[in-house]
Structure 1
Amino acid sequence: MADKVRFGIVGLGMGYSRAKLIPNTAGAELACVCSLDAEKAQQVAKELNCDWTTNYLEMLMRKDIDVIGVMTPSGMHCDHAIMALESGHHCYTTKPMDIMVAKCDAAIATAKRTGKILGVDFGNRFLPINHQVRAALQGGKLGRLICCDLIMKWYRDMSYYGGGSPTAWRSRLVTERGSIANQGVHYVDLLQWFMGPVKSVWGRSGTFNHDIETEDQTMAII
């Protein structure tokens, strides 16, 4: 790699907030952004002083990009990640890695075969306080681990589920898969990081408060 790690970002919903961080990060450079929304891509490129495109394959052909940041809807993450890895780029996806385990396995296998790095954005693992908690738990400072409770009461109205690009992707099984996969995955990951690998899961979910395909309430014992 060059002196700076050069990024290309695909998806400018959550990807916009990630793209804005790159120019202010030492050792990083934003080379290109990609969105199906040409107007949005052009606006972001002008603001952040980078190139733009509406064609993901076109961005993957560029030789001045080291890492592809995948910020598309959840059900597309591994599709775009595999394409990035196959084209010779490292890849960093937002959470969740995907909504299908088989696609996650395929992306991991592709990373191993191509020798490229594949990372997933579980930002809670980078917070110093969580490192201290994990060290205390795993070092036995709190005694024997019996259980860990997680309660997430996050409010989302219909404007959240009806927005995004493509429109309403957060409300659909094929692109999002539900609140536990989208919001809850942050803390399910943290539970595993604190407590160790999951051996079994029992859970129930349902849709109670929104007119959407996916669940908006989940309870589980892991």
Structure 2
Amino acid sequence: MNFAIVGCGFIAKKHSQAIKNIEDAKLVAVCDQVPELMQPYVEEHDATPYTDIEEMLRNESIDIVNICTPSGSHAILAELAAKYGKHVIVEKPIAMTLEETDRIIGATQAQNVKLAVVHPNRFRPAAMKLKEVLQQNLLGKISHALCIVNWNRGQDYYDQAPWRGTKEYDGGVLMNQAIHNLDLLLWYMGAPEEVFSMEATRFRDIEAEDVSTGIIRFQSGALATVQASTTVYPRNYEESITIFGEKGTVKIGGANALHFETLNLQDMSDQLIETTIDQVRSNPWGKSGHEEIIADMIEAIREDRLPAITGEEGRKAVELVLAFYESAKLNKSVKMTERNDSNDNDQNKITKFTRKVEC
């Protein structure tokens, strides 16, 4: 199937490499308003460059459009792609507001095209093994969980582009960095019921938060603590998820949540535990999550089924982040069923930004 990439910044490189690695995939077009950013894809993939997205979308040979632009521009671009009958793969987060998210989901459903959201951490070997542990009920009843992302993103990272660190188009550490881990937490723990959060902008000269701490009560009754920051000196310190159950304790951790730091399970033999730890250690990254998601989209189209990570799945993580933001703003706990998405953006602002900065 033929792919097009919209937005040729850093993350587009992962998409293009994943497409290159898949036998049944070909990158045929790229779109960006900065021609020099498209040149590497023209040279390596023989992709046709476009500075006008609608001109690109009129290319009937394109099957799937990968949206790799700033988060605040995802909605208008996904809607356009769907309008032209293209299947859509959108980078995380799916959008910055629930209104935008629902527009994307609605547009793809109305045009009967597939929608997949890029949450690649689900495909890491340790993350998948922890999911198996939970599905097999090896932890028993869950007491609580810890979700930690203590990373370094210097001021130079935010100064790369004017949209970075803004509330409207990028978000802070929760929406941009920790959303991967929040997606995993929801995948493991189920639906949240209530949240409380505090946040601050301590070190970075940005509009959004660079440090956040929150608490979640899930519908199951289990609790979780979330700690996220981009203020750690001098490099990434920890990315981890720990789950405590009545029959076990499991922690996947390290600087990038790639290894089992703890795997204690009442109903798993010591030998099997050691084997599992060693298997993950021997190949901690596994196959690229982007490659898994793109290959799954191809199969989903051929089999006429839902992709592995749907728009609705992507929506859950955005809703949780927005609930944290609302709680921090109001300085009180927020029930998920009662919250107000006060961060919704005005459509004209999205369109104006999209036309100015990205295809």
The Cα of 1:110 is off from its aligned counterpart by: 1.4
- The count of residues paired between Structure 1 and Structure 2 equals 215
Residues 41 and 54, structure 1, Cα contact 8 Å, conserved in 2 = no
Bigger shift: 180-189 or 131-140? 131-140
Question: What residue ranges of structure 2 are gaps of 5+ in the alignment?
Answer: 217-359
Bigger shift: 179-188 or 120-129? 120-129
Query: What is residue 150 of structure 1 aligned with on the other side?
Result: 147
Matched, 1:190 2:184: yes
Query: What is residue 65 of structure 1 aligned with on the other side?
Result: 62
Residue of 100, 103, 110 corresponding to 1:103: 100
The C-alpha deviation readout for 1:103-135, integer Å capped at 9, x for no partner, is 101111112211111110000112233222112
Query: What is residue 5 of structure 2 aligned with on the other side?
Result: 9
**TM-score when scaled to structure 1?**
0.93
Residue of 24, 48, 51 corresponding to 1:27: 24
Residues 28 and 45, structure 2, Cα contact 8 Å, conserved in 1 = no
| Aligned equivalents of 2:42, 2:13: Cα separation in 1 | 10
Which of 1 and 2 has greater Rg? 2
The C-alpha deviation readout for 1:140-196, integer Å capped at 9, x for no partner, is 111211111011111000111011xxx221121221121100001000000000111
Question: Structure 2: which amino acid aligns with 1:172?
Answer: T
The Cα of 1:77 is off from its aligned counterpart by: 1.2
The Cα of 1:83 is off from its aligned counterpart by: 1.0
Instruction: State the SS of the aligned residue for 2:192.
Output: coil
Residues 9 and 32, structure 1, Cα contact 8 Å, conserved in 2 = yes
1:174-213 → structure 2 map (5 Å cutoff): 174-213=168-207
Query: What is residue 74 of structure 1 aligned with on the other side?
Result: 71
Higher share of residues assigned strand: 2
Query: What is residue 167 of structure 2 aligned with on the other side?
Result: 173
Bigger shift: 204-213 or 12-21? 12-21
Instruction: State the SS of the aligned residue for 2:33.
Output: coil
Higher RCO (C-alpha under 8 Å, 6+ residues apart): 2
| Aligned equivalents of 1:190, 1:144: Cα separation in 2 | 18
Bigger shift: 43-52 or 66-75? 43-52
Instruction: State the SS of the aligned residue for 2:148.
Output: coil
Question: Structure 2: which amino acid aligns with 1:52?
Answer: P
The Cα of 1:42 is off from its aligned counterpart by: 2.5
The Cα of 1:48 is off from its aligned counterpart by: 2.1
**TM-score when scaled to structure 2?**
0.58
| Aligned equivalents of 1:87, 1:200: Cα separation in 2 | 39
Instruction: State the SS of the aligned residue for 2:145.
Output: coil
| Aligned equivalents of 2:172, 2:68: Cα separation in 1 | 17
Give me the CA root mean square deviation: 1.2
Matched, 1:41 2:38: yes
Question: Structure 2: which amino acid aligns with 1:209?
Answer: F
| Aligned equivalents of 1:90, 1:26: Cα separation in 2 | 19
Q: Percent identity?
A: 32
Matched, 1:218 2:212: yes
